[in-house]
Amino acid sequence: MDDHIERGGIPRKFECGAPTIMLESKTAQNPGRRFYRCGKIYGPNHVFMWLDEAHHEELGILEVNKQ
Ligand SMILES: [Zn+2]
């Protein structure tokens, strides 16, 4: 088992078809904080979700103005 990866509520793929990946934040605000994101594109309408918040089984999709 991958004990470092939470299971449940985390789809392996999203609508764009790219696999979800888990990374570790390097920012000063969130040092070492793990998050999921779209494995292909980092940007609007692709998944971004903090691992700890994923426990709430909600997906955070970056929202922007759609043109
Ligand atoms: Zn994507």
Do residues 55 and 7 lie in contact, with contact meaning Cβ atoms separated by under 8 Å? no
**Rounded distance from Cα 60 to ligand 1 centre (Å):** 12
Q: CB pairs under 8 A, 24+ apart, for 1-7?
A: 6/51, 6/54, 6/55
Q: How far is the CA of 19 from the centre of ligand 1 (A)?
A: 8
Task: Give, as residue ranges, everything with CB less than 5 Å from ion ligand 1.
Answer: 16, 18, 38, 41, 46
Between CA 64 and CA 40, with CA 13 as vertex, the angle to 5 degrees is 60
Return the pLDDT at 50.
86
For 13-65, the pLDDT digits (tens) are: 666 888 888 899 999 999 999 998 888 888 888 888 888 876 555 455 555 55
More confident residue, 31 or 3: 31
How many other CB atoms sit within 10 Å of the CB of residue 8?
7
Residue 2 pLDDT > 80? no
pLDDT at 3: 46
Q: Please give the model's pTM, rounded to 2 decimal places.
A: 0.58
| Cα 11 to averaged position of ligand 1 atoms, centre (Å) | 12
Q: Which residue, among 3, 9, 4, has the nearest Cα to 54 in the 3D structure?
A: 9
